[in-house]
Amino acid sequence: MTATNIKDYLDTNHIHYTAISHSPAYTAQTIAATAHVSGKEFAKTVVVKLDGKLTMAVLPANYRIDFDRLKKVTGAKEATLATEQEWEECFPECEVGAMPPLGNLYDMDVFVTKSLSEDKEISFNAGTHTELIQMKYRDFENLVHPHIEHFSDRTKVGN
């Protein structure tokens, strides 16, 4: 899904958002810094496999997934990081690694870590490494209907 398609989707659903262009950036922390967005409000989308099913895990840029906790809160017997080869075909119009957390558009379940759901706003990649979308978290939740669980921890300095 290109940035234009994402904007069209948001417009169709009458969602107020801001599109922010930034210089090319590839890690969540760098994107947040480059776009002058708080790392705790920038949502990185990580594709995981829960019992073999591709699923989106969405968490702040400065957090990491606790896979044992993710297994517990989802009831999965197995929770692993999906490889790029396993998920890249799911997002044909996105630059690799720049997929938005709009799992409803990709027929994927979405799990949002609790800390992100407590923010007023959310920012995320718009399908490219040079543009992001910023919108109210509540609007995101109403569109995507994610499962909200506690499955991540803040990244420690040096990790």
Task: Please report the domains of the chain, with CATH numbers, ordered by start residue.
Answer: 3-151 (3.90.960.10)
In this prediction, residue 29 carries a pLDDT of: 85
Q: What is the pLDDT of residue 1?
A: 58
Taking 70 as the pLDDT cut, the residues of the chain under it are 1-2, 156-159
What values do phi and psi take at 43, rounded to 5?
A: -95, 115
Determine what percent of the chain falls in helix, strand and coil, rounding each to the nearest 5: 30, 30, 40
DSSP 78-113: -EEEPPHHHHGGG-TTSPTT---S-GGGTT--EEEE
pLDDT the model gives residue 2: 67
Task: For residue 44, give Cα distances in angstroms to 3, 11, 14.
Answer: 16, 22, 24
- Confidence at residue 159, expressed as pLDDT on a 0 to 100 scale: 45
Give the pair of three-digit tokens for residue 33. 């810094």
pLDDT value for 7: 92
